[in-house]
Structure 1
Amino acid sequence: MSSTSDSNSNPLIAFSQNLAEIAENVGNSLVAINGQRFPCSGIYWHEGLIVTSEENIKRSEGVTVILPDGETSPVTLLGRDRSTDIAIFKTETSLPIAPIDSDCELKVGHLAIAVGRDSEKGLFVAQGIISTVGDSWRSSLGGYIDRFIRLDINFYPGSGGSALVNAAGKVVGFNTTGPRRSVLTIPAATINRVIDRLLETGNINRGYLGLGMQPVYLPDSLVDELSLNHRQGLMVVNVEAQAPAEQAGIILGDILIAIEDTSIARLRDIQAYLEPQNIGKTLKIQLIRAGLLKDVSLIIGDSGRNK
């Protein structure tokens, strides 16, 4: 019996063959990136551009990639954004552009195929499922990620920056390590947005306050005395010299409870105000000092000027 008739009659053979074809097709657009903190993969995203996970980037000079044909080629770092874990390299080598789908509707239980390239072993594939799909979220550094996508999949060495491929053979993002060694995917919509900004500026500066804070619960007596509608805030534990917060008059021990009349209780509540487009804008901050309410105006600084 021929292999064609076997695949037609046996769905497992057909599935296996389709999976191999998907890996081969996407693999033509994948490279292995050398000289980094950890082995990682890269995706040929646009003409002359390779995208990968920023957390794996150890240095910006002397970086090379292993191409699908096994040849080594130099690349140049064009930009990186730690907050969204995205880095882009420029290459003079032309490869097939990865088949990107930035509008893919992912659901829990969908097949997850991670395709990457190792500098020594070549192309590799891991198969699992999408275990969680959620709305937009912010990373610990405040980066805006369009969808929360977590995978139940084996994460081999070199999987950072590997392509998440759907059952249609389209790349819907790249894979990276999340908290507690979970596997997360940075979606294509986020990658496209950040690439545009990185190509303009080379980096993405975020808003800067110059504050160290930690969440605290307010005593019931203080909540009642000040007629507050919430019981949490952020206590200032550090104020950087000459930072926007110091210039606004914020001091150690202040408890921030609202920004622009919106209650705040967690650090992520502040991060939303620190997007690049807000640099230079004035924030109205309400805080508690010595048991009394106080309003201050703070001009958001530029993180790039304070490195």
Structure 2
Amino acid sequence: MVLDQTNNATNAAHLLRALSNQMADAVERVSPALVVVNGRQRQPGSGIVYSPDFILTADHVLEREDDLTIQTHDKRTLAAQFVGRDPASDLAVLRVTESGLTPASVASQPARVGQLTLAVGRASEEGPMASSGIVSSMGGPLRTGRGVTLERYIRTDATPYPGFSGGPLIDAEGAVLGVLTTGLINGIALAIPIQIAQQIAEALIKQGYIKRGYLGVSSQLVHLPEAQRAGRTQEHGLLIIKVEDQSPAQKGGLLVGDILVALDGHEVHDSDDLQPLLTGERVGKEIPIQVVRGGNLQILQVVVGQRQ
């Protein structure tokens, strides 16, 4: 009995040591792609080498758009050029040419609730900092304080210390799951899933900003009785209660009392479904919108406006 207890304790110690080493290895693996971002007077932020010439960071750590520098893992200070920012997702992109930096590895699978993670930041020349935790929830869409819907977000109980914003949330292999930020919802620590962050980064690199569209309507969620679904199966839609003058919706023929059920082939069950569809390449383009009007399904063509 005593021997069994000793063996169990020894095995537990070996497992704990192996896990500890794996987590330390994960931080070491991502460290070359982790930079200090000097873009404000107070605490610097962190950044991730997204591609050989580009750095992903948090928008709120950039209080200026010129005289920017980064510090690399090997303690080089390099000039950084501002590329673009998206306050709605609290992401920004910097360009650093001929840095010789290796991009971070991106996780092949999305984060999962309960997954062991590390929040990592580099806010000084002393090297990386890390805290461990799990993915406590996956959520979205999330309406941010800027009135824009964030499609997905990761919440973790790993502690993001000052300067961690813009740094990565990584898995046990050192691959990036998301970009950390405390700048979206009253200082709450969230991570933007890396797949979404990459899409935003590509748009910022291409045009310097994110296209976000609007229809110019006010709406409310309504239940669709089976007899009024016009052959559709969805149970909810958006009742149009106001159409702004000279708005894309008015020009496209939407009326108060219409029930919006689909946009560009995607079902719309509530406003959280609608907002993510009014972005990117749809902005400025004519798209089909399906509405139930008087119990009949109608298809209208509406040019999505661009929000200024």
With normalisation by structure 1, the TM-score equals 0.73
Q: Which residue of 2 aligns with 1:299?
A: 302
The secondary structure found in structure 2 opposite 1:204 is: coil
Q: Which residue of 2 aligns with 1:27?
A: 31
Q: Which of residues 270, 274, 291 in structure 1 aligns to 2:274?
A: 270
Structure 2 residue identity aligned to 1:297: L
Q: Verify: 1:258 aligned to 2:260, yes or no.
A: yes
Q: Which of residues 95, 118, 133 in structure 2 aligns to 1:128?
A: 133
Q: Which residue of 2 aligns with 1:3?
A: none
Which consecutive unaligned segments of at least 5 residues does structure 2 have?
1-9, 230-234
Asked if the contact 1:116–1:125 (Cα under 8 Å) also holds between the matched residues in 2, the reply is: yes
Deviation at residue 95 of structure 1 after TM alignment: 4.6
With normalisation by structure 2, the TM-score equals 0.73
Q: Distance in 1 between matches of 2:39 and 2:110?
A: 35
Q: Distance in 1 between matches of 2:193 and 2:102?
A: 17
Q: Within 5 A, what are the aligned runs for 1:17-96?
A: 17-36=21-40, 39-92=44-97, 94-96=99-101
Change in Cα spacing, 1:244 to 1:56, as seen in structure 2 (3 Å) is farther
Q: Verify: 1:16 aligned to 2:20, yes or no.
A: yes
Cα displacement string for residues 96-153 of structure 1 (whole angstroms, at most 9, x for unaligned residues): 324413313643322111111114764211111122346xx444324544xx532122
Asked if the contact 1:42–1:51 (Cα under 8 Å) also holds between the matched residues in 2, the reply is: yes
Identity %: 27
Cα displacement string for residues 39-64 of structure 1 (whole angstroms, at most 9, x for unaligned residues): 42100121111012335444322322
The secondary structure found in structure 1 opposite 2:128 is: strand
The secondary structure found in structure 1 opposite 2:122 is: strand
The secondary structure found in structure 1 opposite 2:79 is: strand
The secondary structure found in structure 2 opposite 1:282 is: strand
The secondary structure found in structure 2 opposite 1:27 is: helix
Asked if the contact 1:114–1:125 (Cα under 8 Å) also holds between the matched residues in 2, the reply is: yes
User: In the comparison of the two structures, how many residue pairs are matched?
Assistant: 283
Q: Distance in 2 between matches of 1:60 and 1:238?
A: 38
Q: Distance in 2 between matches of 1:233 and 1:98?
A: 43
Q: Which of residues 163, 179, 203 in structure 1 aligns to 2:209?
A: 203
Asked if the contact 1:83–1:139 (Cα under 8 Å) also holds between the matched residues in 2, the reply is: no
Deviation at residue 32 of structure 1 after TM alignment: 1.9
Asked if the contact 1:53–1:86 (Cα under 8 Å) also holds between the matched residues in 2, the reply is: yes
Q: Which of residues 149, 154, 162 in structure 2 aligns to 1:157?
A: 162
Deviation at residue 161 of structure 1 after TM alignment: 1.4
Asked if the contact 1:79–1:203 (Cα under 8 Å) also holds between the matched residues in 2, the reply is: yes
Which consecutive unaligned segments of at least 5 residues does structure 1 have?
1-5
